[in-house]
Protein backbone atom coordinates (compact mmCIF):
# COMPACT_ATOMS: atom_id res chain seq x y z
CA UNK A 1 0.00 0.00 0.00
CA UNK A 2 1.27 3.46 -0.87
CA UNK A 3 -0.55 6.27 0.90
CA UNK A 4 0.13 9.98 0.53
CA UNK A 5 2.62 9.87 3.40
CA UNK A 6 4.62 7.15 1.65
CA UNK A 7 5.00 8.86 -1.73
CA UNK A 8 8.18 10.78 -0.94
CA UNK A 9 9.96 7.64 0.31
CA UNK A 10 8.62 5.61 -2.61
CA UNK A 11 10.02 8.03 -5.16
CA UNK A 12 13.42 8.01 -3.48
CA UNK A 13 13.40 4.21 -3.35
CA UNK A 14 12.34 3.99 -6.99
CA UNK A 15 15.10 6.31 -8.16
CA UNK A 16 17.65 4.47 -6.07
CA UNK A 17 16.49 1.08 -7.38
CA UNK A 18 16.67 2.25 -10.98
CA UNK A 19 20.12 3.68 -10.38
CA UNK A 20 21.37 0.47 -8.77
CA UNK A 21 19.74 -1.91 -11.24
CA UNK A 22 20.38 -0.14 -14.53
CA UNK A 23 23.01 2.49 -13.88
CA UNK A 24 23.03 6.15 -14.85
CA UNK A 25 20.94 6.51 -18.02
CA UNK A 26 23.14 9.42 -19.07
CA UNK A 27 26.15 7.11 -19.04
CA UNK A 28 24.48 4.05 -20.57
CA UNK A 29 22.70 6.14 -23.17
CA UNK A 30 19.49 4.18 -22.61
CA UNK A 31 16.42 5.47 -20.73
CA UNK A 32 14.98 3.64 -17.76
CA UNK A 33 12.05 1.39 -18.68
CA UNK A 34 9.42 -0.37 -16.57
CA UNK A 35 6.79 -2.87 -17.59
CA UNK A 36 4.22 -1.57 -15.09
CA UNK A 37 3.71 1.08 -12.41
CA UNK A 38 0.84 0.05 -10.14
CA UNK A 39 -0.41 2.66 -7.66
CA UNK A 40 -4.04 1.55 -7.74
CA UNK A 41 -6.46 1.58 -4.79
CA UNK A 42 -4.38 3.88 -2.58
CA UNK A 43 -6.66 6.98 -2.38
CA UNK A 44 -3.75 9.16 -3.47
CA UNK A 45 -4.41 12.89 -3.65
CA UNK A 46 -3.88 15.12 -6.67
CA UNK A 47 -0.68 16.38 -5.10
CA UNK A 48 0.75 12.88 -4.72
CA UNK A 49 -0.17 11.87 -8.25
CA UNK A 50 1.44 15.05 -9.58
CA UNK A 51 4.59 14.26 -7.58
CA UNK A 52 4.80 10.71 -8.96
CA UNK A 53 4.14 11.63 -12.59
CA UNK A 54 6.38 14.70 -12.34
CA UNK A 55 9.26 12.55 -11.11
CA UNK A 56 8.66 9.96 -13.83
CA UNK A 57 8.74 12.69 -16.44
CA UNK A 58 11.85 14.34 -14.98
CA UNK A 59 13.75 11.04 -14.87
CA UNK A 60 12.45 10.03 -18.32
CA UNK A 61 11.16 6.71 -16.98
CA UNK A 62 9.20 4.97 -19.73
CA UNK A 63 6.40 2.74 -18.50
CA UNK A 64 4.21 0.44 -20.57
CA UNK A 65 1.30 0.24 -18.14
CA UNK A 66 0.34 2.97 -15.65
CA UNK A 67 -2.36 1.86 -13.20
CA UNK A 68 -3.86 4.69 -11.12
CA UNK A 69 -7.40 3.46 -10.45
CA UNK A 70 -9.05 3.92 -7.06
CA UNK A 71 -7.38 7.21 -6.14
CA UNK A 72 -8.62 10.80 -5.68
CA UNK A 73 -7.36 12.25 -8.95
CA UNK A 74 -8.98 15.46 -10.13
CA UNK A 75 -8.03 18.19 -12.59
CA UNK A 76 -4.41 18.71 -11.50
CA UNK A 77 -3.65 14.99 -11.42
CA UNK A 78 -5.30 14.51 -14.81
CA UNK A 79 -3.16 17.29 -16.25
CA UNK A 80 -0.04 15.63 -14.80
CA UNK A 81 -1.01 12.31 -16.42
CA UNK A 82 -1.54 13.99 -19.79
CA UNK A 83 1.76 15.83 -19.52
CA UNK A 84 3.62 12.62 -18.68
CA UNK A 85 2.06 10.79 -21.65
CA UNK A 86 2.97 13.64 -23.98
CA UNK A 87 6.58 13.81 -22.79
CA UNK A 88 7.09 10.04 -22.82
CA UNK A 89 8.79 9.31 -26.13
CA UNK A 90 7.50 5.73 -26.25
CA UNK A 91 3.89 4.66 -26.36
CA UNK A 92 2.08 3.31 -23.31
CA UNK A 93 0.11 0.08 -23.70
CA UNK A 94 -2.39 0.80 -20.92
CA UNK A 95 -3.54 3.69 -18.75
CA UNK A 96 -6.00 2.99 -15.96
CA UNK A 97 -7.52 6.04 -14.28
CA UNK A 98 -10.88 4.48 -13.42
CA UNK A 99 -12.64 5.12 -10.11
CA UNK A 100 -11.12 8.54 -9.53
CA UNK A 101 -12.76 11.97 -9.29
CA UNK A 102 -12.15 13.33 -12.79
CA UNK A 103 -15.05 15.50 -13.92
CA UNK A 104 -16.18 16.42 -17.42
CA UNK A 105 -19.40 17.48 -19.09
CA UNK A 106 -20.30 17.48 -22.78
CA UNK A 107 -22.47 20.58 -22.12
CA UNK A 108 -19.58 22.58 -20.66
CA UNK A 109 -19.16 26.20 -21.73
CA UNK A 110 -15.61 25.35 -22.85
CA UNK A 111 -15.99 22.43 -25.31
CA UNK A 112 -12.86 20.32 -25.49
CA UNK A 113 -11.42 21.93 -22.37
CA UNK A 114 -11.97 18.97 -20.05
CA UNK A 115 -9.33 16.46 -18.98
CA UNK A 116 -10.75 13.62 -21.10
CA UNK A 117 -10.61 15.66 -24.31
CA UNK A 118 -7.12 16.90 -23.48
CA UNK A 119 -5.84 13.35 -22.96
CA UNK A 120 -7.40 12.10 -26.22
CA UNK A 121 -5.93 15.13 -28.01
CA UNK A 122 -2.53 14.34 -26.54
CA UNK A 123 -2.71 10.70 -27.71
CA UNK A 124 -3.99 11.74 -31.14
CA UNK A 125 -1.15 14.21 -31.69
CA UNK A 126 1.56 12.02 -30.13
CA UNK A 127 3.84 10.54 -32.85
CA UNK A 128 4.07 7.15 -31.10
CA UNK A 129 0.36 6.34 -31.50
CA UNK A 130 -1.17 4.20 -32.79
CA UNK A 131 1.26 1.43 -31.94
CA UNK A 132 2.10 -0.65 -34.98
CA UNK A 133 3.20 -4.28 -35.19
CA UNK A 134 4.71 -5.76 -38.34
CA UNK A 135 3.10 -9.22 -38.51
CA UNK A 136 4.89 -10.41 -41.63
CA UNK A 137 2.66 -11.72 -44.42
CA UNK A 138 -0.46 -10.43 -42.64
CA UNK A 139 0.80 -6.87 -42.96
CA UNK A 140 1.02 -4.12 -40.40
CA UNK A 141 -1.31 -4.38 -37.45
CA UNK A 142 -2.45 -1.72 -35.01
CA UNK A 143 -2.32 -2.39 -31.27
CA UNK A 144 -5.17 -0.45 -29.60
CA UNK A 145 -4.30 1.69 -26.59
CA UNK A 146 -6.16 0.44 -23.51
CA UNK A 147 -7.72 3.37 -21.63
CA UNK A 148 -9.78 2.61 -18.54
CA UNK A 149 -11.83 5.65 -17.54
CA UNK A 150 -14.95 4.27 -15.82
CA UNK A 151 -16.18 5.26 -12.38
CA UNK A 152 -15.41 8.98 -12.68
CA UNK A 153 -17.73 11.99 -12.83
CA UNK A 154 -18.14 12.13 -16.61
CA UNK A 155 -21.58 13.56 -17.39
CA UNK A 156 -23.10 12.29 -20.66
CA UNK A 157 -20.03 10.17 -21.53
CA UNK A 158 -21.40 8.95 -24.88
CA UNK A 159 -22.09 12.49 -26.03
CA UNK A 160 -18.67 13.67 -24.85
CA UNK A 161 -16.97 10.87 -26.76
CA UNK A 162 -19.05 11.69 -29.82
CA UNK A 163 -17.95 15.33 -29.65
CA UNK A 164 -14.30 14.26 -29.40
CA UNK A 165 -14.68 12.00 -32.45
CA UNK A 166 -16.42 14.71 -34.45
CA UNK A 167 -13.52 17.09 -33.85
CA UNK A 168 -11.16 14.38 -35.12
CA UNK A 169 -12.94 13.89 -38.47
CA UNK A 170 -11.63 14.59 -41.92
CA UNK A 171 -13.91 14.53 -44.93
CA UNK A 172 -16.67 13.01 -42.83
CA UNK A 173 -14.41 10.17 -41.65
CA UNK A 174 -13.08 10.03 -38.12
CA UNK A 175 -9.36 9.54 -37.64
CA UNK A 176 -9.84 7.94 -34.20
CA UNK A 177 -10.89 4.32 -34.04
CA UNK A 178 -12.80 3.16 -30.94
CA UNK A 179 -12.21 -0.59 -30.70
CA UNK A 180 -14.38 -3.34 -29.24
CA UNK A 181 -11.37 -5.17 -27.78
CA UNK A 182 -7.62 -4.82 -27.37
CA UNK A 183 -6.91 -7.35 -30.09
CA UNK A 184 -4.62 -6.08 -32.83
CA UNK A 185 -6.19 -5.32 -36.19
CA UNK A 186 -5.06 -4.47 -39.69
CA UNK A 187 -4.56 -0.78 -40.26
CA UNK A 188 -7.26 0.77 -42.37
CA UNK A 189 -6.43 4.05 -44.09
CA UNK A 190 -5.62 7.13 -42.02
CA UNK A 191 -5.84 6.11 -38.40
CA UNK A 192 -4.18 8.52 -36.00
CA UNK A 193 -5.35 6.79 -32.82
CA UNK A 194 -6.78 3.38 -32.00
CA UNK A 195 -8.16 3.13 -28.47
CA UNK A 196 -10.11 0.57 -26.46
CA UNK A 197 -12.22 2.15 -23.69
CA UNK A 198 -14.19 -0.76 -22.18
CA UNK A 199 -15.74 0.99 -19.20
CA UNK A 200 -16.08 4.61 -20.38
CA UNK A 201 -19.93 4.64 -20.41
CA UNK A 202 -20.01 3.40 -16.78
CA UNK A 203 -19.62 6.57 -14.72
CA UNK A 204 -20.57 7.60 -11.23
CA UNK A 205 -23.80 9.53 -10.80
CA UNK A 206 -23.26 13.25 -11.22
CA UNK A 207 -24.43 14.92 -8.02
CA UNK A 208 -23.83 18.10 -6.08
CA UNK A 209 -20.92 16.39 -4.30
CA UNK A 210 -18.93 15.87 -7.50
CA UNK A 211 -15.90 18.07 -8.28
CA UNK A 212 -16.61 21.29 -10.13
CA UNK A 213 -16.57 20.50 -13.83
CA UNK A 214 -15.31 23.89 -14.91
CA UNK A 215 -12.24 23.34 -12.71
CA UNK A 216 -11.17 20.45 -14.92
CA UNK A 217 -10.08 22.61 -17.86
CA UNK A 218 -6.51 21.67 -18.70
CA UNK A 219 -4.11 22.79 -21.35
CA UNK A 220 -2.99 20.44 -24.08
CA UNK A 221 0.75 19.83 -23.53
CA UNK A 222 1.17 19.18 -27.23
CA UNK A 223 0.70 22.87 -27.83
CA UNK A 224 -1.93 22.18 -30.47
CA UNK A 225 -4.65 24.10 -28.70
CA UNK A 226 -8.00 22.41 -29.08
CA UNK A 227 -7.54 21.12 -32.60
CA UNK A 228 -6.72 17.58 -33.58
CA UNK A 229 -4.17 18.33 -36.29
CA UNK A 230 -0.85 16.59 -36.37
CA UNK A 231 2.43 16.75 -38.24
CA UNK A 232 2.65 14.22 -41.09
CA UNK A 233 6.43 14.31 -41.37
CA UNK A 234 6.94 13.77 -37.66
CA UNK A 235 4.40 10.94 -37.73
CA UNK A 236 6.10 9.12 -40.62
CA UNK A 237 9.56 9.46 -39.07
CA UNK A 238 8.31 8.18 -35.70
CA UNK A 239 6.41 5.31 -37.30
CA UNK A 240 9.57 4.03 -38.99
CA UNK A 241 11.52 4.15 -35.73
CA UNK A 242 8.68 2.47 -33.88
CA UNK A 243 8.48 -0.36 -36.44
CA UNK A 244 12.22 -0.95 -36.06
CA UNK A 245 11.78 -1.25 -32.29
CA UNK A 246 8.85 -3.63 -32.68
CA UNK A 247 10.71 -5.89 -35.11
CA UNK A 248 13.53 -6.14 -32.58
CA UNK A 249 11.31 -6.86 -29.60
CA UNK A 250 8.11 -8.57 -30.75
CA UNK A 251 7.72 -12.33 -31.02
CA UNK A 252 5.00 -14.37 -32.78
CA UNK A 253 3.60 -15.36 -29.40
CA UNK A 254 3.43 -11.75 -28.29
CA UNK A 255 1.73 -10.77 -31.53
CA UNK A 256 -0.97 -13.37 -30.94
CA UNK A 257 -1.40 -12.46 -27.30
CA UNK A 258 -4.26 -10.20 -26.33
CA UNK A 259 -2.04 -8.35 -23.89
CA UNK A 260 0.78 -7.75 -26.44
CA UNK A 261 3.60 -6.48 -24.26
CA UNK A 262 6.67 -4.89 -25.76
CA UNK A 263 9.65 -6.44 -23.96
CA UNK A 264 12.92 -4.68 -24.61
CA UNK A 265 16.36 -5.46 -23.32
CA UNK A 266 16.48 -2.85 -20.57
CA UNK A 267 20.02 -1.75 -19.71
CA UNK A 268 23.09 -3.74 -20.61
CA UNK A 269 21.06 -6.84 -21.43
CA UNK A 270 18.98 -6.74 -18.24
CA UNK A 271 15.27 -7.35 -18.74
CA UNK A 272 12.63 -4.80 -17.96
CA UNK A 273 10.93 -5.15 -14.63
CA UNK A 274 7.52 -4.45 -13.18
CA UNK A 275 7.16 -2.21 -10.15
CA UNK A 276 3.91 -2.69 -8.28
CA UNK A 277 2.72 -1.19 -5.02
CA UNK A 278 -0.08 -3.54 -3.98
CA UNK A 279 -3.44 -2.36 -2.76
CA UNK A 280 -5.39 -3.71 0.17
CA UNK A 281 -7.93 -5.64 -1.88
CA UNK A 282 -8.15 -9.44 -1.95
CA UNK A 283 -6.08 -9.82 -5.12
CA UNK A 284 -2.54 -8.78 -4.34
CA UNK A 285 0.32 -8.25 -6.75
CA UNK A 286 3.77 -9.48 -5.86
CA UNK A 287 7.03 -9.63 -7.71
CA UNK A 288 8.39 -13.08 -8.50
CA UNK A 289 11.46 -14.05 -10.44
CA UNK A 290 11.49 -16.94 -12.85
CA UNK A 291 14.25 -19.40 -12.09
CA UNK A 292 17.21 -18.93 -14.38
CA UNK A 293 15.52 -16.23 -16.49
CA UNK A 294 16.23 -13.14 -14.46
CA UNK A 295 12.86 -11.79 -15.58
CA UNK A 296 10.60 -10.48 -12.87
CA UNK A 297 6.89 -10.86 -13.51
CA UNK A 298 3.74 -10.15 -11.56
CA UNK A 299 1.66 -12.91 -10.04
CA UNK A 300 -1.78 -12.68 -8.54
CA UNK A 301 -2.36 -14.30 -5.17
CA UNK A 302 -5.76 -14.70 -3.55
CA UNK A 303 -4.86 -16.54 -0.34
CA UNK A 304 -7.51 -17.95 1.93
CA UNK A 305 -8.02 -16.18 5.22
CA UNK A 306 -7.51 -12.59 6.33
CA UNK A 307 -4.26 -13.34 8.14
CA UNK A 308 -2.66 -14.88 5.07
CA UNK A 309 -3.82 -11.95 2.93
CA UNK A 310 -2.27 -9.55 5.44
CA UNK A 311 1.06 -11.40 5.30
CA UNK A 312 1.03 -11.45 1.51
CA UNK A 313 0.40 -7.71 1.47
CA UNK A 314 3.30 -7.21 3.86
CA UNK A 315 5.53 -9.38 1.71
CA UNK A 316 4.63 -7.50 -1.45
CA UNK A 317 5.05 -4.09 0.13
CA UNK A 318 8.40 -4.94 1.66
CA UNK A 319 9.65 -6.28 -1.63
CA UNK A 320 8.48 -3.15 -3.45
CA UNK A 321 10.20 -0.84 -0.96
CA UNK A 322 13.49 -2.68 -0.58
CA UNK A 323 16.39 -0.53 -1.72
CA UNK A 324 19.79 0.63 -0.73
CA UNK A 325 18.98 4.28 -0.11
CA UNK A 326 22.59 5.15 0.54
CA UNK A 327 23.35 4.85 -3.14
CA UNK A 328 20.59 7.28 -4.11
CA UNK A 329 22.19 10.01 -6.21
CA UNK A 330 21.91 13.50 -4.76
CA UNK A 331 22.64 16.86 -6.31
CA UNK A 332 25.45 18.98 -4.94
CA UNK A 333 25.72 22.76 -5.10
CA UNK A 334 26.90 22.58 -8.71
CA UNK A 335 23.86 20.55 -9.76
CA UNK A 336 25.96 17.41 -10.26
CA UNK A 337 24.84 14.05 -8.90
CA UNK A 338 26.83 12.43 -6.18
CA UNK A 339 26.31 9.54 -3.78
CA UNK A 340 26.54 9.51 0.00
CA UNK A 341 29.11 7.18 1.56
CA UNK A 342 27.31 3.98 2.61
CA UNK A 343 26.85 3.27 6.31
CA UNK A 344 27.48 -0.43 5.73
CA UNK A 345 29.39 -2.36 3.11
CA UNK A 346 27.55 -4.97 1.07
CA UNK A 347 29.11 -7.69 3.19
CA UNK A 348 28.05 -5.99 6.42
CA UNK A 349 24.50 -5.55 5.12
CA UNK A 350 24.18 -9.26 4.32
CA UNK A 351 25.64 -10.18 7.69
CA UNK A 352 23.26 -7.87 9.57
CA UNK A 353 20.28 -9.15 7.58
CA UNK A 354 21.14 -12.69 8.61
CA UNK A 355 21.33 -11.64 12.26
CA UNK A 356 17.96 -9.90 12.08
CA UNK A 357 16.39 -12.91 10.38
CA UNK A 358 17.62 -15.23 13.14
CA UNK A 359 16.13 -12.90 15.73
CA UNK A 360 12.76 -12.81 13.95
CA UNK A 361 12.72 -16.62 13.72
CA UNK A 362 12.93 -16.87 17.52
CA UNK A 363 9.91 -14.65 18.18
CA UNK A 364 6.57 -16.44 18.50
CA UNK A 365 3.64 -15.01 16.58
CA UNK A 366 5.63 -13.65 13.66
CA UNK A 367 5.28 -14.93 10.05
CA UNK A 368 6.77 -18.40 9.78
CA UNK A 369 7.60 -18.24 6.06
CA UNK A 370 11.33 -17.88 5.54
CA UNK A 371 10.86 -15.67 2.47
CA UNK A 372 8.81 -13.22 4.54
CA UNK A 373 11.42 -13.14 7.31
CA UNK A 374 14.16 -12.56 4.75
CA UNK A 375 12.37 -9.60 3.27
CA UNK A 376 11.49 -8.15 6.67
CA UNK A 377 15.12 -8.41 7.75
CA UNK A 378 16.28 -6.78 4.53
CA UNK A 379 13.71 -4.01 4.97
CA UNK A 380 14.86 -3.43 8.55
CA UNK A 381 18.48 -3.09 7.47
CA UNK A 382 17.36 -0.85 4.63
CA UNK A 383 15.93 1.61 7.15
CA UNK A 384 19.31 1.81 8.86
CA UNK A 385 21.04 2.41 5.53
CA UNK A 386 18.42 5.08 4.76
CA UNK A 387 19.27 6.76 8.09
CA UNK A 388 15.74 6.46 9.46
CA UNK A 389 15.31 7.61 13.04
CA UNK A 390 14.50 5.18 15.90
CA UNK A 391 10.87 6.34 16.08
CA UNK A 392 10.39 5.92 12.34
CA UNK A 393 11.93 2.44 12.40
CA UNK A 394 9.53 1.37 15.13
CA UNK A 395 6.56 2.92 13.30
CA UNK A 396 7.39 1.17 10.02
CA UNK A 397 7.90 -2.19 11.73
CA UNK A 398 4.56 -1.77 13.51
CA UNK A 399 2.75 -1.68 10.17
CA UNK A 400 4.09 -5.18 9.46
CA UNK A 401 4.54 -6.81 12.86
CA UNK A 402 1.99 -4.98 14.98
CA UNK A 403 2.88 -2.67 17.86
CA UNK A 404 3.24 -5.58 20.29
CA UNK A 405 6.16 -7.08 18.34
CA UNK A 406 7.51 -3.90 16.74
CA UNK A 407 8.58 -2.29 20.03
CA UNK A 408 10.85 -5.12 21.24
CA UNK A 409 12.20 -5.85 17.75
CA UNK A 410 13.06 -2.18 17.18
CA UNK A 411 14.66 -1.92 20.63
CA UNK A 412 16.76 -5.05 20.00
CA UNK A 413 17.77 -3.80 16.55
CA UNK A 414 18.94 -0.42 17.91
CA UNK A 415 20.92 -2.06 20.70
CA UNK A 416 22.42 -4.63 18.35
CA UNK A 417 23.56 -2.03 15.81
CA UNK A 418 25.03 0.24 18.49
CA UNK A 419 26.94 -2.72 19.90
CA UNK A 420 28.13 -4.47 16.70
CA UNK A 421 28.06 -1.69 14.06
CA UNK A 422 29.10 1.41 15.96
CA UNK A 423 30.18 3.46 12.95
CA UNK A 424 26.87 2.82 11.19
CA UNK A 425 24.94 3.73 14.36
CA UNK A 426 26.83 7.02 14.63
CA UNK A 427 26.32 7.75 10.93
CA UNK A 428 22.57 7.19 11.26
CA UNK A 429 22.40 9.41 14.34
CA UNK A 430 21.46 6.56 16.64
pLDDT digits (tens, 9 = 90+) for 361-378: 888 887 777 777 887 888
What is the tens place of the pLDDT at every residue in 399-412? 778 888 889 999 99
Start-end of H helices in 323-401: 346-361, 370-385, 390-401
Look at 226 and 392; give whichever has higher pLDDT: 392
Instruction: Give the pLDDT mean for 59-71.
Output: 96
Which of the two residues, 173 and 23, has the higher pLDDT score? Answer: 23
Confidence check: pLDDT of 231 > 80? no
Work out the average pLDDT over 273-294. 36
Element at 147 (helix H, strand E) = strand 145-148
CA distance 183 to 360: 49
Cα–Cα distances in angstroms (integers) from residue 53 to residues 3, 301, 385, in the given order:
15, 28, 26
Per-residue pLDDT band for 178 (boundaries 50, 70, 90) equals very high
Cross-strand pairs, 104: 154
Name which residue leads in pLDDT, 97 or 22. Answer: 97
Q: What average pLDDT does range 186-208 have in this prediction? A: 85
pLDDT at 270: 36
Q: Which residue has the higher pLDDT, 420 or 171?
A: 420
Residue 392 burial (CB < 10 Å; 0-12/13-18/19+)? middle
For 403-413, b where at least 16 C-beta lie within 10 A, e where not — what string? eebbeebbeeb
**Are 153 and 105 within 8 A, CB to CB?**
no
pLDDT given at position 159: 94
Is 198 exposed, middle or buried (CB count within 10 Å of its CB: 0-12, 13-18, 19+)?
Answer: middle
d(CA 270, CA 290): 14
* Average of per-residue pLDDT across 70-96: 96
List the domain boundaries for the chain: 4-274, 341-427
Q: Is the pLDDT of residue 292 over 50?
A: no
pLDDT value of residue 221: 63
**263-277, 358-372, 407-421: which range is least confident on average?**
263-277
Residue scoring higher pLDDT (58 or 318):
58
Measured distance CA(368)–CA(268) in Å, rounded: 37
Please give the Cα distance from 236 to 240 (Å, whole number).
6
pTM of the model: 0.56
DSSP class of residue 88 equals -
Q: Report pLDDT for 240.
A: 52
CB count within 10 Å of CB 349 equals 20
pLDDT at 210 over 70: no
Give the tens place of pLDDT for each residue, 107-136.
887 878 899 999 999 999 999 999 988 877
CA dist 195 → 124, 126, 132, 253 (Å): 10, 13, 13, 22
Per the model's pLDDT, the better-predicted residue between 72 and 212 turns out to be 72
The whole-angstrom separation of Cα 145 and Cα 154 is 20
Q: Is pLDDT of 209 > 90?
A: no
φ/ψ (deg, to 5) at 245: -65, -45
Q: What are phi and psi of 241, to 5 degrees?
A: -65, -40
Amino acid sequence: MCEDRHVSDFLQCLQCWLWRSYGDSRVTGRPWRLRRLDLAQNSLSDESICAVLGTMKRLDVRVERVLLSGNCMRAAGMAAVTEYVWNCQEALMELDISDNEVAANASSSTPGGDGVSALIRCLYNHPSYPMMLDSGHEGRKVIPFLLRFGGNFIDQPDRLLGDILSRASKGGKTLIRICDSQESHLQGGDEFLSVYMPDFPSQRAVTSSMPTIEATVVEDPSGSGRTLERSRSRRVHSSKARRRRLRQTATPAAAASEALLLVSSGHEGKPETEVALPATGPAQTRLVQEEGSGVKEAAEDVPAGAERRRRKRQEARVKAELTDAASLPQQNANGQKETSPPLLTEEEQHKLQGEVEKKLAKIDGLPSEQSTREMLSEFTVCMLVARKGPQEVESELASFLGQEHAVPVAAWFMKHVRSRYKNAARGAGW
